[in-house]
Amino acid sequence: MIAEPDGPEDRLRRFATIWSRTVFPVTSTSLTRPEFEEQLLPLARRLSEILRAHGFDADEARQVGAALIDAHCTDPEALTRTLDCVDAYLVLYCGEDGPQDELRMRSSRIQHAMAAGFAQALRERTLAEQEAIAQAALRAQGVVAQALHASEARFRAVFEGAAIGIGIADLEGNVLQVNGALLRMFGGSEQTLRSRNVLEWAHPEDAPQTWRLYEELVRGEREHYHVEKAFNRSDGTVLWTNLTVSLLRDADGEPQYQLALMEDTTERRLLNLRLRYEATHDALTGLPNRTLFFERLEKALAAGEGQRFGLCYLDLDGFKTINDSLGHSAGDRLLVEVADRLQSCATAPGEMVARLGGDEFVALTTGAATQREVDDLADRIMNALVTPISIDGRELLVRGSIGIVEGPAGERTPAEVLRSADITMYRAKSAGGNRSELADPEADARAITRHGLTTALPAALDRGEFFIEYQPLVHLGDGSVRGAEALVRWLHPQHGVLGPDRFIPLAEHTGLIVPLGRWVLEESIRQAREWRERYGEDTAGGPLRINVNLSPCQLTHPGLVQDTVDILERTGVSPDALCLEVTESALIGADDDLLKPLRRLAEMGVDIALDDFGTGYSNLANLRRLPVSILKLDRSFTQSMQQFPADPVDLKIVEGIVTLAHSLDLAVTVEGVETGAQAEQLRILGCDTAQGWYYARPGPPERLHDLALVDATG
């Protein structure tokens, strides 16, 4: 609508502009002022019409007042300003040329009606909004209550359905609520449980910190704690639990309740105890086993100053025979009876008996006076075995060997103590058994070395810890090197180079001598081939030969001939380059079976030497029967010739042996030649070859090269 300047429309708009400018600052509308003016313009038009209407329409004026509320002019100041504006400008801009007094009167009535309409609308709006917000608050609370109810129902379900026991108590310890699982654990009714106070649940087995933790929690100094705890059930049995107690605080953080969660561990605990018993006791005899014994021994050895320990290590004599002849069941019954008797020997505090396995038992005594006690203990054990044991109507005489170790705590490890006891027991056994021996450090050391070497032997062969030294064999006639004796050595990682006397008996004992001997044979023959390849026939005495020792064990080994043949063929060395040395003692009383392999080898061209000749009691007549081509005189014959003049009797004996040997077509080699005089004497006596320090000590193969070359050129 285009307003004619200063026409009624233009004047109406000017009124609306003034009105909106007056009221806008006190409205809370988000409209701009011009937009707000557009909102007021229709209201201004209505006011203008009411002003000039024939009759006064109070209702219409009230509606305009109410419309202000709809335009968000809710501040009473908006009404004041509106009325001021109407009062001052409505007649002026919208009265046109009407009678001023009537218009002013009409304006006043309009203002009253607008005020009433505004107030009415504001009241209604306020009430409606109050109603709306109250409803919203109620609904929100309903939603929260519903959610709370759902969450509480869920919590209830968790509480009731939980497999672990749950209980809530106040900070004084009064039990307020318990769940089904907890009831089932304790037995009895909810009523009896709820009438209790937590403090009544002390138990003799409570860990020392249990109630300190409780006090800290109820004082609010601790949020939770976890303990293993026992409870007495009403029926007198014990309930074991894993217990976690937590402090519950209110919204302001003040401690309010304690919440206990407990898991029934009674069964598990019993099972653990049984497993522990089974793990530490021998199933047959019920005695403590090796594990428990070691625990106790460890404890005894870790005891403080002034504390000592005494240990008897018992092994039954001849138990294997009983087991083999009467059967395992009889053997087991015997062990049970022995166990019972031993048990009665060690009843004092600090004493214990254990079965280590098989027929091995130990008795331990601890304290300050074990020096005396341990001997008494050993005596009691020996006495306990004196009475025969009746098994299946037989009276079996049981004897045992005891190794005793006694000493102060804090010096040795359990393993060291037990090893010493074991060694000592074996000493008692090898002294005939049915006795006790007291441990002795020197005897221990010897046994320990022997024991250590024995166990290290197999690995030593695998690891290549053995090597061979060669001692030249020299022809007494022309001084030329004819060959060498192979002597095996062990380069032990701890003990250094060991001679054969240290380990060959052990190797024979364990059977390792067979692979070891085979290795020596192979290595030596390979060396012989090397010499031959290098020097051919150039050495003065012809091709170099190799002497290898055979142990009695190897002699009886069925693979001897085949192994030797294989090695010779493989290396391409002819049999006559090899001489096998066998000790005289190994052939004493040898029958044909034993001699057969030697004979086979001799037929192939291998020389057989009779080593250490003269130390045994050889039947000289027997020499004919043996497939031997060389006698090696024991060094004891040559020892006396180191002085000059030599003992004439010795000379005669050697001369006799040489004559005898030669008459049987045997060559004679002498060992242990240490001086030139000796060598000369032996040459005169007719010996063929010699070895000894006079020529060379055993050494690496290269040394022999040098010696041989010296001979060849010199």
Partner 1 sequence: MERPAWAPRSIDISVPSVSRIYDYYLGGSHNFEVDREAARKAMAHMPGLPKIMQANRAFMRRAVRHAAAAGIEQFLDIGSGIPTFGNVHEVAQQAHPGARVVYVDHDPVAVAHSDAVLEGNEHADVVAADLRKPQEILSSPQVERLIDLNQPVALLLVAILHFVEDADDPYGAVAQLRDALAPGSLLVLTHASYEGIPLPAERAEGAVDVYKDIRNPLIMRSRDEIARFFEGYDMVEPGLVPMPHWRPESAPEDEDPYAFSGFAGVGIAA
Is there a contact between 449 and 476 (Cβ–Cβ < 8 Å)? Answer: no
8 A C-beta contact, residue 695 and residue 674: no
Identity (one letter) of the amino acid at 13? R
- b/e code 554-581 from CB counts within 10 Å (16+ = b): bbebeebbebbeebbeebebebebbbbb
With CB under 8 A as the contact rule, the residue among 2, 5, 30, 621 that binds partner 1 is 30
- From the list 146-154, 236-244, 435-443, 661-669, the region that binds partner 1 by CB under 8 A is 146-154
Write the binding mask 220 to 249 for partner 1: x where contact by CB under 8 A, - elsewhere: --------------------------x-xx
| Contact indicator for 457, 491 with CB cutoff of 8 Å | no
Asked if residue 130 binds partner 1 (CB under 8 A), the reply is yes
161 binds partner 1 (CB under 8 A): no
Q: Determine the longest span between alpha carbons in the chain, in angstroms.
A: 186
Q: Least distance to partner 1 from the beta carbon of 26, Å?
A: 9
SS3 of 313-366: the string is EEEEECHHHHHHHHCHHHHHHHHHHHHHHHHHHCCCCCEEEEEEECCEEEEEEE
Q: Which is nearer to partner 1, 36 or 470 (CB)?
A: 36
- 136 part of the interface to partner 1, by CB under 8 A: yes
Q: Other CB atoms closer than 10 Å to residue 304's CB: what's the count?
A: 7
What number of other Cβ atoms are within 10 A of residue 403's Cβ? 26
Select 74 or 527, whichever has its Cβ closest to partner 1.
74
Considering only 3, 53, 88, 147, the residue that binds partner 1 (CB under 8 A) is 147
Stretch that binds partner 1, among 80-88, 121-129, 453-461, 683-691 (CB under 8 A): 121-129
> Residues 661 to 680: which contact partner 1 by CB under 8 A?
none
Q: Is 532 exposed, middle or buried (0-12, 13-18, 19+ CB in 10 A)?
A: buried
The SS3 of residue 368 is: coil
Smallest gap from Cβ 25 to partner 1, in A, equals 7
Task: Give the x-and-dash track for 10-29 against partner 1 (CB under 8 A).
Answer: ---------------x-xxx
CA 607 to chain centre: 59
Strands (E), 409-495: 435-438, 466-475, 481-492
Contacts (CB under 8 A) with partner 1, residues 555-594? none
Across 461-485, b (16+ Cβ under 10 Å) vs e yields eeeebbebbbbbbbbbeebbbbbbb
CB 249 within 8 A of CB 239: no
| DSSP states of 492-534 | ETTTEEE-HHHHHHHHHHHTTHHHHHHHHHHHHHHHHHHHHHH
What is the x/- site pattern for partner 1, positions 313-352, by CB under 8 A? ----------------------------------------
When binding is defined by CB under 8 A, the residue of 126, 321, 413, 659 that contacts partner 1 is: 126
Interface with partner 1 by CB under 8 A: which range of 127-135, 332-340, 456-464, 598-606? 127-135
CB of 126 to partner 1, least distance (A): 4
425 burial type by CB count under 10 A (0-12 exposed, 13-18 middle, 19+ buried): buried
Q: Cβ 153 to partner 1, closest distance in Å?
A: 11
Question: Given the rule CB under 8 A, which of 143-151, 376-384, 482-490, 644-652 is the region that contacts partner 1?
Answer: 143-151
Of the ranges 124-132, 207-215, 282-290, 491-499, which one interacts with partner 1 (CB under 8 A)? 124-132
Q: Which of 141, 234, 636, 643 binds partner 1 (CB under 8 A)?
A: 141
Mapping DSSP onto H, E and C, the string for 154-190 reads HHHHHHHHCCCEEEEEECCCEEEEECHHHHHHHCCCH
Position among 49, 88, 92, 154 found at the interface with partner 1 (CB under 8 A) = 154
Query: Which one among 4, 49, 129, 538 touches partner 1, defined by CB under 8 A?
Result: 129
Determine if 133 is a binding residue for partner 1 (CB under 8 A). yes
Is the Cβ of residue 28 or residue 663 nearer to partner 1 in the bound state? 28
Of residues 52-111, which lie at the interface with partner 1 (CB under 8 A)?
A: 72, 74-75
Positions that interact with partner 1 (CB under 8 A): 25, 27-35, 72, 74-75, 125-126, 129-130, 132-133, 135-137, 139-141, 143-144, 147-148, 151, 154-155, 246, 248-249, 259
